[in-house]
Structure 1
Amino acid sequence: MYLFHFVEKYDHLPWLKCEFFFCAAMSLAYIVTSIFATTIGESVGYAIGFFGLCAIIAYGLDSYLKFNKWKTGLPPQ
């Protein structure tokens, strides 16, 4: 959306709110799937759990930053 300037063209839409909910939902999804993958017990499950933890941290941090921008009223870009 940012690449093709849809955010600038349709600035009346709540972009930060949508991105915040998307990042929060992805963080919760990665929490569930990482726990499930690590409890399988195979050697691949531990690698999936580690990279899932990295994704949880990345999406969690991004959702925190989006939430702060959304509450302060900053524009998406």
Structure 2
Amino acid sequence: MASPQSPQQPQNMGSTNVIFRTDLRFDPSYLKTTPGMVKAAVIVLNLLGFICIQSSAFWSNSHGVYFNVVALGSLWFSGILLLLYLVHFVEKYHNFMWLKVEMLGCGVVTFLYLIASTIVVAFGSAAYSAAGFFGYLAMVLYGFDAFLKARAIKSGEIAQGSFVVTKQTHVTTPPALP
């Protein structure tokens, strides 16, 4: 038995191209993205926690010193990354594994802030408790940023640049009937 011929469906074929601009330029629009807002927020929280410890009478205590090391290290980490994104350095050197480095760095900082904030809150000083509060907030944001980076890595996203998707539809016509 011959089956009736069904019309062939159009086939969608396409390709994805990634466009990178390799010139360095200042572009503040990164601050309007979710990762940009998270970086700006953790910079502010790092500074607030550092100021709380430094304004305390116990600023030279080992608990406060450890918290300040974590806060300032995190401040430098986030500040440098924010600057690199703002001037499109990340896009220029797109072959480097930026998302993996950020995910690992944010994960480490999350763990360090958990320890530092718990230590200063347990100390009992009001300034230390305020610093611990800002540290816990920073810990949550760094954990969220690490989650965003892990999800971006899993979905195959790039750190900075743009995808251009082109689709072509190919239609095959059946041969003419005799």
TM-score, length-scaled by structure 2: 0.42
Across the two proteins, how many residue pairs are aligned to each other?
77
Q: Which residue of 2 aligns with 1:52?
A: 135
2: CA distance, partners of 1:30 / 1:47: 14
Q: Which residue of 1 aligns with 2:111?
A: 28
Segments of 4+ moved more than 6 angstroms: none
Bigger radius of gyration, 1 or 2? Answer: 2
2: CA distance, partners of 1:46 / 1:62: 24
Task: Tell me the alpha carbon deviations over residues 31-73 of structure 1, each in whole angstroms, 9 at most, x when there is no partner.
Answer: 1100110111111121111111110111111110011001111
Instruction: Trace 1:1-77 onto structure 2 (pairs within 5 A).
Output: 1-77=84-160
AA aligned opposite 2:142: Y
Hey, which of these two has a bigger chunk of helix by percent? Answer: 1
Task: Tell me the alpha carbon deviations over residues 2-58 of structure 1, each in whole angstroms, 9 at most, x when there is no partner.
Answer: 122221111111110001011111111111100110111111121111111110111
AA aligned opposite 1:50: F
SS at match of 2:129: helix
AA aligned opposite 2:104: F
Instruction: Identify the range of structure 1 (51-60 vs 4-13) with the bigger mean alpha-carbon deviation.
Output: 4-13
Hey, which of these two has a bigger chunk of strand by percent? Answer: 2
AA aligned opposite 1:51: F
What residue ranges of structure 2 are gaps of 5+ in the alignment? 1-83, 161-178
1: CA distance, partners of 2:86 / 2:109: 21
Task: Give the aligned CA root-mean-square deviation in angstroms.
Answer: 1.0
2: CA distance, partners of 1:2 / 1:45: 33
